[in-house]
Structure 1
Amino acid sequence: MKLEESGMRPNKLLRSLKRRNRWACFDAEKKPIDPESGDPVDVLRTRDHHMSYREANLAYADHDAPVGIGFSIGLDDELILIDLDDCLDDDLKFKSEVAEDIFTTVNSYTEISVGGHGLHILTSGYNLESYYGHSEEHPVEIYDGQKFFTFTGRHVQSPYDVKKQPGAIATIHRRYGPWVSYREWISHKSD
């Protein structure tokens, strides 16, 4: 399956998130930063550096340090981010049947990631099947809190906003588990 960018202007996308003051600028390493100084900031444990969508865009436009804006998913959210790395070729065709299945099963807001070869799918609904983490067997990461995601606005044919899909999340967990926590995955990766 080949994806097509929707061409929808970013200001028409993710309206439910744009009403919330959890936006921040990020640097070339996709880390949240203070737009003026370029210094790293913690947007997950404190709200000191959260901005409105409009403020984040203005800060991005007015300063040299940021390379984009993103959104901070908190523990009090029902938001779930599914991160599918390196699943698209240069023509936006799926390289992975797993990624294609997840995209079609979840059917919520989806955009091409910063690198141009991955997808970010945003959905909502508490993940009761398992904690967030990484699939042990597939290049899939699911986060249900405490995650900063980079927003590109490169929307592909999918809903224009977050859709509540708890059943789809449960299906993905069953199909592509077992799952390990982020902390466990990092420790295995560095061994």
Structure 2
Amino acid sequence: MIRTTCEYCDAELRRAGLGRPQRFCSGRCRVAAHRKKRAGEAVPAEIRGQKRWIRHGADKTPLRADTGRAASSTDPRTWTDHGTAARSPHGAGLGFVLNGDGIVCVDLDHCLTADGQLAPWAAAILNACPPTYTEVSPSGTGLHLWGHGHVVRGRRIRREDGAHIEVYGTGRYIALGRRYGQAPAELADISEVITSLTT
């Protein structure tokens, strides 16, 4: 079947059906899709080995890797292994589902400038955190701190400057980005950081 929309942004392909099969509407989308497919390569084996992977659309809608249809962060039947999700042609990137087993994610929203400078408030959180897998969010403006901890209910903390800090441990999926700097490919216990943010 001839593809008629861009694999990355779902925009209509102008030259669909003419000559060599077209997958992307622009070089920009091709590069972005390539970067997102590679996003999971530096992910710690502890996460990569779980069968809790999905895809996500350009609008962050969770998608099944096998069909491209809607996935659910609470229905394991819609998840798959990392390899299958990484090879899937559906959506714009990888997502990992948090299911309450102790793997958690702290999302520091809008903490990176366009030139990669980290906001002081985010640097303070990062410095208080033991070395753990950290990635730049797909938007390029935030950080995800991955680790071990106990989070019963997700929290969203709004800062006075408009930035957000989100803490999740279950019932959510996280869209993967790319490794931040030289962050280790392992998860640390970040319970103390979580406690400091949520109390």
TM range (shorter): 0.7 to 0.9
Secondary structure of 1:160's counterpart equals coil
Superposition deviation, residue 35 in structure 1: 3.9
The residue number in structure 2 matching 1:164 is 189
Distance in 2 (CA, whole Å) between partners of 1:9 and 1:88 is 18
Q: Which aligned pairs between 1:99-110 and structure 2 lie closer than 5 A?
A: 99-107=122-130, 108-110=132-134
2:57 equivalent in structure 1: 27
Alignment partner, residue 174 of structure 2: 149
* TM-score normalised to structure 2 length: 0.71
* One-letter code aligned to 1:45: T
Give the structure 2 partner of residue 71 of structure 1.
96
Q: Distance in 2 between matches of 1:78 and 1:150?
A: 18
Q: Higher RCO, 1 or 2 (CA under 8 Å, sep at least 6)? A: 1
Residues 3-58 of structure 1: per-residue CA shift (max 9 Å, x gap): xxxxx98534311011110011111111211345432221x221112111111111
Give the counterpart of 1:134 among 126, 150, 156: 156
Cα root mean square deviation, aligned: 2.2
Tell me, in whole angstroms, the C-alpha distance in 2 between the residues paired with 1:150 and 1:124: 18
Aligned partner of residue 92 in structure 1, secondary structure: coil
Residues 1-191 of structure 1 mapped to structure 2, 5 A cutoff = 10-35=40-65, 37-42=67-72, 44-59=73-88, 63=89, 65-75=90-100, 77-94=101-118, 96-107=119-130, 108-127=132-151, 131-137=153-159, 139-174=164-199
Unaligned runs of at least 5 residues, structure 2: 1-37
| TM-score of the aligned structures, taking structure 1 as reference length | 0.74
Counterpart of 2:13 in structure 1 is: none
Aligned-partner residue type, residue 179 of structure 2: R
Larger-Rg structure: 2
Change (3 A) 1:35 1:126: closer
